[in-house]
Structure 1
Amino acid sequence: MSQNKFKLVECPRDAMQGLHDFVPTAFKAEYLNLLLQVGFDTLDFGSFVSPKSIPQLADTAEVLANLDLSATKTKLLAIVANLRGVEEAIKHPEITYLGFPFSISETFQQRNTNSSITQSLHTVEEMLSRCDQNNKTAVVYLSMGFGNPYGDEWNYEIVAHWADVLVNQGVQILSLADTVGVSTPENINNILPRLISNFKNTEIGIHLHSTPADRTEKIEAAYHSGVKRIDSALKGFGGCPMAADDLTGNIATEEVISFLDLKGESLNLNMDKWNEALVLSGKIFG
């Protein structure tokens, strides 16, 4: 197997954002600094959104100032929800990727970014322009990519339509996001191979949420679909507090690592640092 065939994206931002008790800045930085030494492709580390919406991540700029990037190849990704967030994020040369949640559910786009799908398209267009000017790369998440709990219409054609619109705008990395955990192995296998085939020059990723019971079958389906960019979070912590009252956690990174190891994939991770991060996570997440 070729080395680093898979881009593993570790998502402590997603893991932390719904926590009620504020995690001190120094503690966040200590945890992230361990994760930076593991060897992931990307660390989804923070977000530049309204502190009223996500108070847990109000200190993202301060956390960033406390990260040691001197001995890591891992790139940093920050989430933004509007152009004000874009302007904040591009000030930081340490950040490589700006992530934007583009919901194909109108209800969720309003709940999550306080804007319509049409307004969000304009945000993406402006974000792409600012990224080009500031040596950043945009990652656009197709949120509610496997359905939604609001009764908004959903089918593969809707997913493909918005993927096509975004790619034509210039998006180079699209991540299909299962925001509330409604994906199944069947629809993963139905949707992902078609997206990968239809958009050969676009990096297609997957950001799944899941209960512990069905994580492995979703990881297996994603693997066999041909996806090479996988988002996950240590121990499966997290979920989207803007989507539903009951948080459906992330895919657990240790299960992704274990599965890919069994398949003989070379991940080149520092498992000693990973195990240190596992221990430290208990103090953050309880």
Structure 2
Amino acid sequence: MVKIVEVGLRDGLQNESTFIPTEIKVECIQGLIAAGLKHLEVTSFVHPKWIPSLRDADKLVTSLPRVHEVSYRALVPNRRGLERALAADIDEVAVFLSASETHNKKNINQSIADSLTSMQEVTALAISAKKKVRGYVSTVFGCPYEGKVSHRQVIEICERLLSYGVYEISLGDTIGVATPKQVKQMLRSLGEYVPMRTLAGHFHDTHGTALANSYVALEEGISTLDSSFGGLGGCPYAPGAAGNMATEDLIYMLEGNGVSTGVNLSNLCAVSVKLQEWLQKPLPSRVLHHYVAAAKR
């Protein structure tokens, strides 16, 4: 079975200008759980001025339904964010940095070295509080400023994160430029130094390659993939880009190839339809479009 990490409520909504009320987010979460998703990244404990759409992080986490085998995760940028996450009693936390120096400085306002130092502290504190820690590495397959990112850079960052106690590292194709060949080459390089079971794929669909990249990642031994219901999300460095890989499209591909996901596709689409109504715009998932069209016949 492939583990799907649903990131729409964090990675997706952080790109939306419309603030979704906490109560609606909770309804979406309940629907996603009912559809069979068990790993949900629900928010980010960043300062509200940076991501206004996630300003209700504390309220949201304390409002979440506690369901057996369902794990909630939140992104934390620093020690202060971790303290808020722990106060809200989140199940897991996620730390993040970029694989390219320029993107990291523009995105986090730190060098990679400084980010790693901060992540080591945050990870240690989280583990001491008995919380699991996931790591995100952005721009693994390409940087909007530097272009190609070296395999050695990615390998060294992943090795450092694992040494800190991070249990899983999500490899981000942040601007959606990766191709299947690139994914295969990167994973084979990483596989010589890092256990494949500790890696996950996080592909954006800017150039329509997210599903193909995910399929190749599975062939190379990855068993965890990130996706966003409805295809929520976007890329600030590629205006008009589709953004995150849609969970519906991923489920359709996997189940059609005999790979079990434990997710009910119709129930999942129903959640995305409700959110479309709140956002007052169609979401990019191709499978969702088909579901909506079929419902009108």
After TM superposition, the score normalised by the length of structure 2 is 0.87
For residue 126 of structure 1, report the CA deviation from its aligned partner.
0.9
Instruction: Please provide the CA RMSD for this pair.
Output: 2.0
What is the aligned partner in structure 2 of residue 14 from structure 1?
11
Structure 1 partner of 2:257: 263
Using the TM superposition, give the Cα deviation of residue 164 of structure 1 relative to its aligned residue in structure 2, in angstroms.
Answer: 1.8
* Counterpart among 31, 34, 59 of residue 31 in structure 2: 34
SS at match of 1:37: helix
Partner of 2:287: none
Matches within 5 A, 1:214-253: 214-241=209-236, 247-253=241-247
Runs of 4+, deviation exceeding 4 Å = 243-248
More helix by percentage: 2
Instruction: Read off the aligned partner of 1:198 and give its amino acid letter.
Output: Y
Which residue pairs with 1:254 in the alignment? 248
Does structure 2 retain, via aligned residues, the 8 Å contact 1:29–1:64? no
**Counterpart of 1:268 in structure 2: which amino acid?**
G
Equivalences for 1:148-163 in 2 at 5 Å? Answer: 148-151=143-146, 154-163=149-158
Q: Is 1:88 the counterpart of 2:84 in the alignment?
A: yes
Indicate the residue corresponding to 1:139 in structure 2.
Answer: 134
Return the offset for 1:88: 0.9
Call closer, same or farther: CA 1:201–1:192 in 2, change over 3 Å. closer
Distance in 1, Cα, partners of 2:104 & 2:278: 29
C-alpha distance in structure 2 between counterparts of 1:104 and 1:113, whole Å:
12
* Match of residue 45, structure 1, among 38, 42, 48: 42
Identity %: 32
Which 10-residue stretch deviates more, 272-281 or 42-51? 272-281
2:63 maps to 1:66: yes
Question: Aligned partner of 1:280: which letter?
Answer: K
Bigger shift: residues 147-156 or 220-229 = 147-156
1:130 aligns with 2:125: yes
Q: Which residue of 2 aligns with 1:185?
A: 180
Q: Deviations over 1:29-86 (max 9, x none)?
A: 21122112222231011000011111100101112233222x4522111011111111
Match of 1:112 in 2: 107
How many Å separate the matches in 2 of 1:253 and 1:284? 19
The letter for the 2-side match of 1:278 is S
Per the TM alignment, residue 195 of structure 1 is displaced from its structure 2 partner at its CA by 2.2
Structure 1 pair 152–87 and aligned structure 2 pair: CA distance change class (3 A): farther
Distance 1:244 1:118, change over 3 A: farther
Deviation of the 1:165 alpha carbon: 2.1
Query: Mean Cα displacement is larger for which, 249-258 or 144-153?
Result: 144-153
Q: Which has the higher contact order (CA 8 A, sep 6+)?
A: 1
Describe the SS at the equivalent of 1:90. helix
Unpaired stretches in structure 1, ≥5 consecutive residues: none
2:93 is matched with which residue?
Answer: 98
What is the CA distance between 1:103 and its match in structure 2?
Answer: 0.9
Structure 1: distance between partners of 2:226 and 2:37: 10
How far the C-alpha of 1:16 sits from its partner, in A, is 0.7
Q: For structure 2, which runs of at least 5 residues remain unmatched after alignment?
A: 282-297
CA–CA separation in structure 2 for the residues paired with 1:284 and 1:9: 23
Cα contact 1:180–1:248 (8 A) shared by 2: no
Cα deviation 1:258-279 (Å, max 9, x = unaligned):
1111221222224453232122
Q: Which residue of 1 aligns with 2:75?
A: 79
Contact 1:80 1:98 in 2 (8 A): yes
Q: Residue type matched to 1:33 in 2? A: Q
